[in-house]
Structure formats: structure tokens, C-alpha cells
Amino acid sequence: MPTAVVPAARLAVIGGSATQGAPFPDDLHPDAAPLDDDLVFETPYGDSPPFRLFTLAGEPVLHVRLHGWRPGVPRGLASRQVFSVLYRAGVRRILSEAGVGSLNHLLDPGDLVICDDFVDLTTDRAVEGVVGGRLLIMREPVCPVGRAALSRAARRLAPDRRLFTRGVYVVTEGPRFESPAEVRHLQAGGDVVGQSFSPEVWLARDIGACYAGIYLIVNYGEGVVADWSHDELKRRFTDDARLMGRIVLDAAASLSHEQAGCRCRELRKPTLLG
Ligand SMILES: [Zn+2]
């Protein structure tokens, strides 16, 4: 049964495709302990997807998967359900992850990218926030403190991986992949392509939370470097799921929910347009 009562939590993890192949958080971090599961909340946009509540180093953390769930629920509506819950929980910091395709020919499957900017080409996502009434400035869309925490965690847990601490994420509507001509077009605008990142990045700003994510290259974009194989795509999603989960949890455990070292909440002003 859905409930209207949302537990307080200052940290949240939005699970993407890169951890889909592993239970989360389970045994991925020594200080993670489950509190509650299958929490469905009533929201003005319909019942939320199931959340998991766990503690990480004593702090409550909300976890939800926002990829490939509940067919028939438009992505924009699903995102607003999730952010309505995160807003009521008082979430201040959000970390995310996903598997993405490469646009930049320097990137290979298995590389990790912590994106610092994005281009949103979606056409059927959220058109308004859950708080609203604010001008959301995208000068520095991704929290530098969150990015630094993810970078430290990735270097510690995956020292042999190539890690890129900047990159532009081009967000497409999906669910299909891009054609070779589309990839050539998108290469002018970004480094990786995927179907996560937005609207989450600006809904986080809407609720006054910091947002950052780490992305695993799982395939070359069509026409980039070489044809990709479905076997390698599957292998990346399964073999690296635990590593991606461990990186996100390690970064989350190191983050204070207090705002320090970033100006994310200053980039949200009263709107002049009513
Ligand atoms: Zn921030």
C-alpha cells in the first residue's frame, strides 16, 4: 500500500543502468545497512516507484531506480514522482550512475566519465519542476563537491580504469539507440550519449539539492571507432555493476549533506515571470 509519509533523508542515490545487474546496497559497502524496502509513496503525480531506505555510516539514504521500470509511465511523470518524494524527504545531495555510449572517439568501453555539463535533447520529459516558481540557472549544472567525491572513490576502487573528470552528456529520449548520422550530429555537442541525467539534473536544482553522477561507457556510438558487440554490452552491465555500486556508495559515505564548497543552491532564483 502506498503511504503519504516520507522518511527524512539528506542523501539519495538514483540508480541507473550501470548498477542494474547487482543488488544495491546489500554487501557493497561495509557501513551500509538496510532499513526498509518497497516503499511506495503517494505523490501529486501518481504513486512513486518503490524506494529502498538504508543507512550509510549512520545516515539514512533513499535509493530508487529510474531506468526501465513500469512500462506505460512517461519518464517525465516518473521523474516528478521521484523528486516529489526526495523534496519531502529533505534530500540535499543526490548521486547517480548509468551506462552510456561514447560520442568522443577517445573513449572506450569500460572507461568512467564524471560529466560536468549536458545537452538535453529529450522531447517528452518533465516540463515543470515539483517546487516550481524559480529560475533554475544551469551555469554549473553538476555539483563540484559531488563530482570530486565520485572521482576520489573511482580512483581508490578502480585504480586501473581510465577516469575522465569532465565531459558533456547528451541526453536523448530513447528507448532506441542512435543512428550513425545522429551520432555524427551529436559528436559536435558532447562526449557521451544516454537516456539518464535529465530531467534529474534540473529537478535536483528545483528542490535545492546537489546532483552528480558517474557514467560507465558500455558501447561505442554507431560509427565511433568500431562496431560494438552485444556480448560486450551485456558483460559491462553485469561485470561492472558491483564496482559502480561500490563507487557510488563510497562517494556517498564521504559526502556531508551540508552545503560546503559549492554554490548549487545559489543558482536558483525567484522567477520574474510568475
Ligand atoms: Zn552542490
222 C-alpha to ligand 1 centroid (Å): 34
239 C-alpha to ligand 1 centroid (Å): 31
267 C-alpha to ligand 1 centroid (Å): 10
Whether 64 is in a domain gets the answer yes
25 C-alpha to ligand 1 centroid (Å): 23
The per-residue pLDDT for 206 is 96
Contact 209, 257 (CB under 8 A): no
181 C-alpha to ligand 1 centroid (Å): 36
pLDDT tens across 1-12, in order? 898 899 999 999
Of 154, 178, 150, 196, the closest CA to residue 18 belongs to 196
71 C-alpha to ligand 1 centroid (Å): 32
- How far, in Å, CA of 141 to CA of 163, rounded? 20
62 C-alpha to ligand 1 centroid (Å): 18
Dump the DSSP string for 171-184: E---SS---HHHHH
118 has which bridge partners? Answer: 169
Helix, strand, coil % in the chain, rounded to nearest 5: 25, 25, 45
Contact 51, 92 (CB under 8 A): no
Whether 268 is in a domain gets the answer no
201 C-alpha to ligand 1 centroid (Å): 11
Would you state the cell numbers that stand for residue 230, as one nine-digit string?
Answer: 552485444
Dump the DSSP string for 94-140: EEEEEEEEE-STT--TT-EE---EEEE--SSS-SS-SS-SEEE--SS
One digit per residue, the tens of pLDDT, for the chain of length 274 reads 898 899 999 999 998 877 777 888 888 999 999 999 999 999 999 999 999 999 999 999 999 998 656 778 888 889 999 999 999 999 999 999 999 999 999 999 999 999 999 999 998 776 788 998 889 999 999 999 999 999 999 999 999 999 999 999 999 988 899 999 999 999 999 999 999 999 999 999 999 999 999 999 999 999 999 999 899 888 888 889 999 999 999 999 999 766 678 999 999 998 877 5
225 C-alpha to ligand 1 centroid (Å): 35
259 C-alpha to ligand 1 centroid (Å): 7
Domain around 154: 11-258
Instruction: Look at the chain and report how many structural domains it folds into.
Output: 1
110 C-alpha to ligand 1 centroid (Å): 27
The per-residue pLDDT for 257 is 64
The per-residue pLDDT for 250 is 97
Whether 5 is in a domain gets the answer no
The per-residue pLDDT for 19 is 79
Task: Report pTM.
Answer: 0.95
Q: For 18, which DSSP code?
A: G
- How far, in Å, CA of 14 to CA of 66, rounded? 6
144 C-alpha to ligand 1 centroid (Å): 6
Contact 215, 169 (CB under 8 A): yes
Cα-based distances in Å from 86 to 25, 101, 113: 18, 28, 25
Whether 15 is in a domain gets the answer yes
Q: Look at residue 213 and give its three-state secondary structure.
A: strand
237 C-alpha to ligand 1 centroid (Å): 28
220 C-alpha to ligand 1 centroid (Å): 31
Other Cβ atoms less than 10 A from the Cβ of 99: the count is 26
Contacts of residue 48, defined as CB under 8 A and 6 or more positions apart, other chains included, come to 2, 40, 41, 42, 64, 81, 82, 84, 85
Whether 105 is in a domain gets the answer yes
- How far, in Å, CA of 267 to CA of 138, rounded? 7
Whether 143 is in a domain gets the answer yes
The per-residue pLDDT for 16 is 81
The per-residue pLDDT for 139 is 95
245 C-alpha to ligand 1 centroid (Å): 21
Whether 171 is in a domain gets the answer yes
Cα-based distances in Å from 270 to 66, 137, 146, 203: 29, 11, 25, 15
Q: Where are the beta strands (DSSP E) in the chain?
A: 11-15, 32-39, 51-56, 59-65, 93-102, 112-113, 117-120, 134-136, 163-164, 168-171, 192-194, 210-220, 268-270
The CATH number of the domain holding residue 78 is 3.40.50.1580
Whether 266 is in a domain gets the answer no
132 C-alpha to ligand 1 centroid (Å): 19
114 C-alpha to ligand 1 centroid (Å): 14
Contact 265, 259 (CB under 8 A): yes
